[in-house]
Amino acid sequence: MVLLGASGAARAAAFALVNAGVSHLVIANRTLARAESLVADLRPATSGQTPHLAALALEEDDPVLVAVVGDCTLLINATSVGWKNDETPLPAGVLVTPGTLVYDMVYRRTRLLQEAEAQGARTLDGLGMLLHQGALGFARWTGREAPIAVMRAAMGMATL
In tens, the pLDDT along 45-103 reads 776 777 799 999 998 888 999 999 999 999 999 999 988 888 999 988 888 999 899 99
Specify whether 40 is located in the same domain as 58: yes
DSSP 24-84: EEEEEESSHHHHHHHHHHHGGGGTT---EEEEEE--TT-HHHHHHHHH-SEEEE-SSTTSS
Overall residue count recorded for the chain in this entry: 160
Specify whether 53 is located in the same domain as 26: yes
Digit-coded pLDDT (tens) for 117-146: 999 999 999 999 999 999 999 999 999 999
pLDDT, residue 44, reads 83
Specify whether 113 is located in the same domain as 133: no
pLDDT, residue 111, reads 95
- pLDDT of 160 strictly over 60: no
Specify whether 152 is located in the same domain as 89: no
pLDDT band of residue 158 (cuts 50, 70, 90) is low
End-to-end Cα distance, the chain: 23
d(CA 125, CA 57): 24
pLDDT, residue 84, reads 87
- Work out the angle at residue 70's Cα, subtended by the Cα atoms of residues 66 and 127, and round it to the nearest 5 degrees: 105
Per the model's pLDDT, the better-predicted residue between 92 and 111 turns out to be 111
d(CA 105, CA 78): 6
Specify whether 114 is located in the same domain as 136: no
Specify whether 109 is located in the same domain as 141: no
Specify whether 100 is located in the same domain as 24: yes
Domain range enclosing 156? 127-160
Number of domains, the chain:
2
d(CA 15, CA 149): 29
Specify whether 86 is located in the same domain as 147: no
Specify whether 148 is located in the same domain as 116: no
Specify whether 85 is located in the same domain as 152: no
Buried b (16+ CB within 10 A) or exposed e, 15-28: eebbeeebeebbbb
> Can you tell me the mean pLDDT for 17-21?
91
Specify whether 149 is located in the same domain as 113: no
pLDDT, residue 132, reads 92
Q: Which residues partner with 54 through β-bridges?
A: 26
pLDDT, residue 159, reads 60
Specify whether 74 is located in the same domain as 121: yes
